[in-house]
Amino acid sequence: MSDSLSAKFAALADPTRRAMLARLALSELTLADLAKPLEMTVPAVAKHLAVLERAGFVTRSRPTKSVARPAKLQVAAFSEMADWIEKCRVHWEGSFDRLAAYLETPEAKGAEDA
């Protein structure tokens, strides 16, 4: 597993971060907006947001003096995970198909009788 893939899975392991991503899927939000429904302090939410940023799930605009920095979901970040999961699925389905085929062979059926 690549380091970026590990960071993505680790980021998604926390339910607070998954909730933040679900809200960001609907619209861009500021840190204060993300913190409102979470019953957490803004600094605590900022730490979660930083994890999501490092994992590549979220980007934030450059800071300015007069405008809050909205967080934006990066949907493409999920594709690396989806590709890895698909490779695992193909591997295991192939393994199970080969096992099922073997269990139908005369050798396997003969071993059952022994």
Backbone torsion region of residue 28, taken as left when φ is above 0, otherwise alpha when ψ lies between -120 and 50, otherwise beta: beta
Per-residue 3-state assignment (H helix, E strand, C coil) for 42-54: HHHHHHHHHHHHH
> What is the Cα–Cα distance from 5 to 10, expressed in whole angstroms?
9
Name the amino acid, one letter, at 85: I
- Where along the chain do its domains lie? 1-74, 76-114
CATH of domain 1-74: 1.10.10.10
| DSSP letters spanning 85-106 | HHHHHHHHHHHHHHHHHHHTSH
Is this structure's pTM higher than 0.75?
no
> What is the Cα–Cα distance from 73 to 28, expressed in whole angstroms?
7
- pLDDT band (50, 70, 90) for residue 109: confident
- What would the pLDDT profile of 75-104 be if each residue is shown by its tens digit? 999 988 888 888 888 778 877 777 777 788
